Structure 1
């Protein structure tokens, strides 16, 4: 009797534990649960606006009343539902799901493909009894069956009085391609989360900028790397409806290289972004950056305008214009859009007039002329290096799904004692397979 050493017992225990763990990870039920979790959190990331400021979530997810009785802005931020796709727990689910797919591929799909390639001849009539479809013919028809199977695309193996034929092995490869496609998609999503970034900029018309206001960036994103291009906002304009509401807003953007040369130009609007070297510029919002004014015959000067708090009752912008050299007196200029109508209030808050660009108005003993309102464009800027990998994964997924619909069919034929035994099986399209075999049998002379 041999006695195992403690190290051998430990190794055997680790082996058993790893096998058990692998079986759990490769379990189809676990993969389904993980896939449902990914779908659920992906939906939450679509419903809940991502990467917004704290004030946005405080306004839309107040503590009283809490959404569904529990979802407040604090809960939302603590869990990470404001940036679902880059949270550690969402990435962990992706990694676990990918691991499950890989384990399932090696434990189930590859062995199934290997088994499909292993075959043997049936040399005894009783072997045909275990097939779902079989027939005994009182003629010697092996050669004719072989010819007909060849016409229908079967790969044939023939040895004297026995024959084996198969077709549709690609149907066994399809599920493996599906798994590979899903794994590639997950790798693309993870790579994008670690190497991409998300930024927002509010840029006045005519200004040139580099990306600085990063809201979120992956752990492997090098934000300190000098940018080899800048972006110039050539023009910003808004189209209004007949009722005066904003219909669409446009930004004419130019990509400028380090030598100051324009290398790309596009007018973007909602759902029509500009893409350059993996960075995508989306049109998301707008504002009023400043106003150009002139007092009497003074030089034209530009003042900034700021958006004022309205507690959700629309958007307005305002600025203060001094009307005396010592700035002891002045007026407030208020406007709600770029269409040109502006309202003037004195220092006591009383409305003293209205004006439009180029139309002079007298206030505090001077002629005030507003020459132009300067619009600003709100840009959402994203870089996701994982997108091409995700697209490749989806392409593999679609190809694999199509391949998976191909039936894997097998046929055995035995010619013995002036009789021919025919049988076969398939993994799908059973009725079509039966009709095919019956047609071959009926065609025998």
Structure 2
């Protein structure tokens, strides 16, 4: 007896939390207002991630979001880094909001949408004429049977069920499935976003023309992104070039890229990319985003060809300059400075006192400090953004289902009941949307049915009585 008592007490102990969960928590999570609040919070946070630059260095935020004066009185670089506003879409709390919203949708689907669909699929025959008076549209016709009504309903694409002198017809069940498809699409979209945040990465590289590289400069990456970063293959920049307008401004810049196997050095793929036309290989995207002057090839008298690096001096799209120092004596006691602002070929040469000596174009020579300096070539560098997001296919699938579900939801779920009793045909119906269209359609059926006598029609929309 004591053992049975303990088992009963233990069973009651576990039933209490389950009942509390079902009665208190589930209704809140599945509530439409709760879901709307979550959507608004996610939207605000997403906007914040768009306004505040993502994935920049700590120095960038310290410069642009100082403590004195703080933006809006509170937004400083410390707040940004503590809360994670510099990588909003990968923070635990943002992903938690997405998961919570997904749980809300799933709960609503299982507690509301699926039971509504199950109820819509069931049908029940009615043989009491009083039932039809409670419907949105009802009618009473003398000397008619179900055969003529069945023909009319079939012409209107209704699915018909009969049992003796009773009839039930419906169409537009797809409209009940639509909200469920919408929820599934939204859940898949959220899952795709979470999966992309966990497994994706963003990198950035500035690569001189002719060099081969692997992704090393990772700006932002999820905790599971290690398998997405390329290890078995590299990318070679075969050539980088810029096309200019007649006014001298940049029209477009291009990179000829090859994907190379690291073990065999075999070319696996080759594409020319430009802005908005990336290279895609094994789920990794290489976007053309920037450019630079990485170096210059020169020759002094009859010396071998030297390749000297050039460093960026100016900042901003309009003020960028690249420069290098060229020694003209073996002991490096004398030399000249070389400056360039683009790849069109014109460079300025300055002496050690900062005085302009001359200008020179690629392929030409000048005399400086008793030697012949020939500028052979300016070497461009391509700025690439490398990105992988394995969640994108899931997001696209979710968006596709979302649009499909919205279209399906516009279909009206219409129902019609009928029964013959004492020489009269009683019928009535209702719909969940497009009430006026349903009323017109049903009245048209009634008018076709009546052959003689009086047909009394009652409707919530004040449809006039039809007289034969």
Bin the TM-score by the shorter chain: over 0.9
Q: For residues 349-388 of structure 1, what are the alpha-carbon distances to aligned partners after superposition, in whole Å with 9 as ceiling and x for unaligned? A: 2222221112211211211111111000010001111111
Query: Which among 68, 73, 79 is matched to residue 72 of structure 2?
Result: 68
Aligned counterpart, 2:372:
367
Q: Residue 195 of structure 1 aligns with which residue? A: 199
Q: Counterpart of 1:18?
A: 21
Larger mean Cα displacement after TM superposition, 296-305 or 341-350: 341-350
Q: Which runs of 5+ in 1 are unaligned?
A: none
Q: Name the CA distance, whole Å, in 1 between partners of 2:444 and 2:391.
A: 51
Counterpart selection for 1:297 from 299, 302, 313: 302
Q: Alpha carbon RMSD of aligned pairs, Å?
A: 2.1
Deviation string, structure 1 residues 138-191 (Cα, Å, up to 9, x no partner): 232321111111121111111121111111111111111111111111111111
Q: In the aligned structure 1, how far is the partner of 2:239 from the partner of 2:297?
A: 16
**Following the alignment from structure 2 to structure 1, what is the Cα–Cα distance between the partners of residues 230 and 397?**
30
Q: Could you tell me which of 235, 242, 257 is aligned with 1:238?
A: 242
CA distance in 2, matches of 1:138, 1:34: 56
SS at match of 1:439: helix
1:355 aligned to which of 346, 352, 360 = 360
CA distance in 2, matches of 1:226, 1:107: 44
CA pair 25-119 structure 1, distance change in 2 beyond 3 A: same
CA shift in 2, pair 1:183/1:214, >3 Å: same
What's the TM-score once normalised by structure 1's chain length? 0.94
The Cα of 1:55 is off from its aligned counterpart by 3.6
The partner residue of 2:336 within 309, 331, 335 is: 331
- For the residue of structure 1 that corresponds to 2:226, the secondary structure is coil
Q: Quick one: distance in 1 between partners of 2:331 and 2:20? A: 83
Task: Supply the distance in 2 between the matched residues of 1:39 and 1:12 (Cα, whole angstroms).
Answer: 38
Work out the CA distance in 2 between the residues paired with 1:224 and 1:38. 27
Residues 1:158 and 2:162 are matched in the alignment:
yes
Establish whether residue 124 from structure 1 lines up as the match of residue 128 from structure 2: yes
Question: Aligned residue for 1:218?
Answer: 222
Q: Matched residues in 1 for 2:69 and 2:243: separation?
A: 38
Quick check: 2:67–2:77 contact (8 Å CA) kept in 1? Answer: yes
Q: Offset of 1:226 from its aligned partner? A: 6.6
Question: What is the SS of the residue equivalent to 1:191?
Answer: helix
Distance 1:165 1:227 in 2: 62
The counterpart of 2:278, out of the listed 248, 264, 273, is: 273
CA distance in 2, matches of 1:96, 1:350: 66
Question: 1: distance between equivalents of 2:109 and 2:375?
Answer: 70
Whether 1:284 and 2:293 are equivalent positions in the alignment is no
Please, what TM-score do these two structures have when normalized by structure 2?
A: 0.90
2:37 is equivalent to residue 33 of structure 1: yes
| CA displacement at 1:327 relative to structure 2 | 1.0
Structure 2: runs of 5 or more not aligned: 452-468
Are positions 1:428 and 2:433 aligned together? yes
Matched residue SS, 2:94: helix
Question: Alignment partner of 2:338: what SS?
Answer: strand
> What secondary structure, in the 3-state scheme, does the structure 2 residue paired with 1:443 have?
helix
User: CA, structure 1 residues 311+398, in 2 after alignment: closer, same or farther (shift >3 Å)?
Assistant: closer
| Residues 111/311 of structure 1: CA separation in 2 closer, same or farther (3 Å cut) | closer
